[in-house]
Structure 1
Amino acid sequence: MTTTDFPTTVPVRGIRTFHPRRGRMTARQTTALERLWPVHGLTVPDVPGTPVDPVVLFPRRAPLVLEIGSGMGDTTAAMAAADPGRDYLAVEVHTPGIANLLDLISQHGLENVRVARGDALDLVAGLPEGSLDAVHVFFPDPWPKARHHKRRIIQPPHVALLRSRLGPGGRLHCATDWAEYAEAMRQTLDADPGLVNAHSGFAPRPAHRPVTKFERRALTAGRPIADLIYHRR
């Protein structure tokens, strides 16, 4: 595989909302990356806001779900398999996670999943307004230190951008195991004039969101999980 096939770095622009991690890949993941990236992969354009047409990514027109920070891809693959009527675009920066999701796409024969590598906010800025049926932000980096709160993805300008890409009635679903961040998320989402909370506060755990290994570790460590579900007015 050459560097022209798969981006080896993510451009640095201003304040990042993510922390790139290194990790080893299995032989199976390496093979999946080499074989499937050209078919299912998308490199987020280097110039923020470069138009990205979701219509050219999938062989059909269907409601589109954006999964921000798909990790190892287990949740994306499971939800896409259970929801064949919608397409899923996962964006991640962790190469082993991207490769693992590509492998899951192959294992389960998923035609409704594409994987993007790069900054999710740059990708969102390039999507047409109202083009998304849902946005999932599951267990983003909580950036727990106060001086790092500016790096959190759920903050007013980012939420306004995400909301603008949702169609009327589109859903923004966030989840976190960090109690302080959960409350900060709720306050930020409540303050957005274009969003309506689907519940009176935190949402009951939705059955359609799979339990991941990460979530099980959080529960074992005694960290409760908070879900927040909002709709665009």
Structure 2
Amino acid sequence: MAQTPASMLAAGKFIVDSRYATTEQEESILQDITARFPNVVLMKQTSQLRAMMTIIRDKKTPKEEFVFYADRLIRLLIEEALNELPFEQKEVTTPLDAPYQGVSFSSKICGVSIVRAGESMESGLRAVCRGCRIGKILIQRDEETAEPKLIYEKLPVDIRERWVMLLDPMCATAGSVCKAIDVLLKLGVKEERIIFVNILAAPQGIERVFKLYPNVRMVAAAIDVCLNSKYYIVPGIGDFGDRYFGTM
């Protein structure tokens, strides 16, 4: 019996080259991911969002334009991720001395960027969360084991009391983000208080994250269909950090 893209995804088999993926296959994979992983929030694919994604995906886009539209997209993504935080009822009085029943954040938050690409998302978080504390985690691949290795971390001392916005624009194999989540859990952060904020993800990465950490939440701007033989997301963006910081 022929396998559908969704059944191939569930079995750990993935399309290797997006050139061979039809629109129907792409839609099938996205539907399967959102159905199996309810903690994955995919931003509404509006024309504005797709236009910005088109610009930053284009290899001809110059650095200045790439950064401008990436920053716009990141801010929208952060705003979407803030919807995953807990709120509580709050009453205020308007300038007309009338009561208004509103809401406010009910918990402290902080950002944690996975160095280096994740640092590109820090200004977007600061722009919408004034005074938000931001920590950093540096993870590199161990040359002997090929496994992600923690090199450096500097995090708020009270991080276990906070909701954490974990920042990394790309989720390919998810090795780095899984290591970062492990670091946070060992410091006492509750799994359900980690919100992984991500511009672009591959099915393989999502599968790995939620197999290990089913209670984490993830907010993504887009999900592509696969990885290539070099473990880059395709169609993809390329190396986001290199393009953003101009180190290509």
- Name the TM-score class by shorter chain: 0.3 to 0.5
TM-score under structure 2 normalisation?
0.34
- 1 or 2, which has the higher strand percentage? 2
- 1 or 2, which has the higher helix percentage? 2
